[in-house]
A and B are shown apart, each in its own frame.
Chain A
Amino acid sequence: MAHIGTAKSTGTKIHSVSGDCERPGIYEYPYGTSIRRMLEDCGARDTQAVQVGGPSGVCISAFEFGRRIAFEDVPTAGAFMVFDRSRDMFEVAHNFAQFFAHESCGFCTPCRVGTTLVVKGMDKLAAGRGSRHDIDVLFELNTLMHAATHCGLGASACNPLRDTIVKFRPAYERHLKSLHFEPGFDLDAELSIARRMTGRDDPAAHLENAR
């Protein structure tokens, strides 16, 4: 086995290939195989991203498909999830966030509360009520959870979030109501009572950004 693979990663690795490809299944490759080669073999087309190593692994974007599976480059536990361009990478990360909140054992503060805060933050973005500030808060949570959790689950719970914010930021910004302010609530809707009381509904009675 020692002559197969790379200098630091000898032998082969079994991968569970799933997602947007023609031939999902179990594949065995020597360490050092490129992600592009694996995508070609499983019949993946128009691929946007691959989640390597499962939810707590790394999200690899198209310009990185030349990277290789090995301890010295992209390590993996075996999961290889393919996402084509029809997928919204924000929704992918949103889904992973729910997975981690569900999996958290609840023992330590940063994971128990942090995974829930991440879900709530992403729910807010998904509902179209988020702002750039919310993305910054998610990033701060990622930093804290990496340093403060009791075990690796909490530490890696924000990995898909971190990778997708860095590599697929437009997918997040599409969900933002505004890039410039922080809409904790709908200000124009709050004015509806005042409009009703004054019997007005003309354009001047609405905020300029509303409607």
Chain B
Amino acid sequence: MTVTSDGPSGGPTLFSLDGEDVEFRPGETILQAAHRTGRYIPHLCWHPEFRPHGSCRLCIVKIDGRAGAACTVQAAPGQEVESNSEQMNASRKTLLQMLFVEGNHFCPSCEKSGNCLLQATAYEMGMEGPHFEEFYPDRPVDASHPDILLDFNRCILCELCVRASRDVDGKNVFAIGGNGIGTHLLVNSESGKLVDTDMALSDRSASICPVGVILPKRRGFVIPIGERRYDVKSVAEPDNQEAS
């Protein structure tokens, strides 16, 4: 770190990301500043349109030697941030493997394959297998809604649909319930079924899912495998870091 002048005095405010100076705006988190300037810090539960959640821990970095989530730590002048290192990426790979074994993720039969942020990030982090024994949880699908299918098997608890439905759609269709390994995505209706909510296909929450939980019905495989978002371009590219 060389330049540490303050914003109010006119000079740029900078922190160092893997040895490279990154300019940040007042109030920005490390991930926001990195993302805006075209850099890649792996993430799943963070999305530029929403407030951070900090639960997936994929954006784990070392800030002046101390571990933190880049999506929740505010950028400050002179910070030395370590992100794209062997150690950080190894931690990310293990976190991805945890998410894969926790749910039921069968990429070859998933409609989201190739457009999936979990899958793309796993490829980017060099994940070649699950490493841990799969949990194979029993999670029934919800096909009650005429236009939208919910396949909870693929849920990674990023909470983006909860935020989209609450903060953008103003409908509060989704919630996270339970605790520990029993934590799960809920539908806020008396019956617990999506058909008994006012969710519509045009809602932001219907398109926000980074994995294959919330899917439009009758629209399978419109874009063939091999031509999808992450088939043609890496998730690390500045304009390809979000799946939704």
Which positions in A face B, CB cutoff 8 Å? 101-110, 112-117, 120, 137, 140, 144, 147-150
Q: In the complex the two chains form, is B179's CB within 8 Å of A106's CB?
A: yes
Residues on the B chain within 8 Å of A103, using CB: 180
* Residue ID in chain A nearest B97 by CB atoms: A113
Q: In the complex the two chains form, is B181's CB within 8 Å of A109's CB?
A: no
Q: In the complex the two chains form, is B135's CB within 8 Å of A110's CB?
A: no
Q: In the complex the two chains form, is A106's CB within 8 Å of B180's CB?
A: yes
Residues on the A chain within 8 Å of B133, using CB: 120
Checking B60, B101, B102, B182 against A148 with a beta-carbon cut-off of 8 angstroms, the contacting residue is B60
Residues on the A chain within 8 Å of B156, using CB: 109
Q: In the complex the two chains form, is B95's CB within 8 Å of A148's CB?
A: yes
Checking B67, B95, B132 against A109 with a beta-carbon cut-off of 8 angstroms, the contacting residue is B95
Stretch at the interface among B25-33, B51-59, B73-81: B51-59
How many residues in B have their beta carbons less than 8 Å from beta carbons of A? 26
Checking B101, B135, B180 against A104 with a beta-carbon cut-off of 8 angstroms, the contacting residue is B180
Q: In the complex the two chains form, is A147's CB within 8 Å of B91's CB?
A: yes
Q: In the complex the two chains form, is B55's CB within 8 Å of A117's CB?
A: no
Known: A148-B57, A150-B55. A109 touches B99 (CB 8 A): yes
Is B109 close to A, CB under 8 A? no
Residues on the A chain within 8 Å of B191, using CB: none
Residues on the B chain within 8 Å of A108, using CB: 54-57
Residues on the B chain within 8 Å of A144, using CB: 91, 94-95
Q: In the complex the two chains form, is A150's CB within 8 Å of B181's CB?
A: no
Q: In the complex the two chains form, is B182's CB within 8 Å of A106's CB?
A: yes
Is B183 close to A, CB under 8 A? yes
Residues on the A chain within 8 Å of B69, using CB: 150
Q: In the complex the two chains form, is B60's CB within 8 Å of A147's CB?
A: yes
B104 CB → nearest A CB, Å: 14
Q: In the complex the two chains form, is A117's CB within 8 Å of B91's CB?
A: no
Known: A148-B60, A148-B67, A150-B57. A104 touches B98 (CB 8 A): no
Known: A104-B181, A106-B183, A108-B55. A116 touches B135 (CB 8 A): yes
Known: A144-B91, A144-B94, A147-B91. A112 touches B180 (CB 8 A): yes
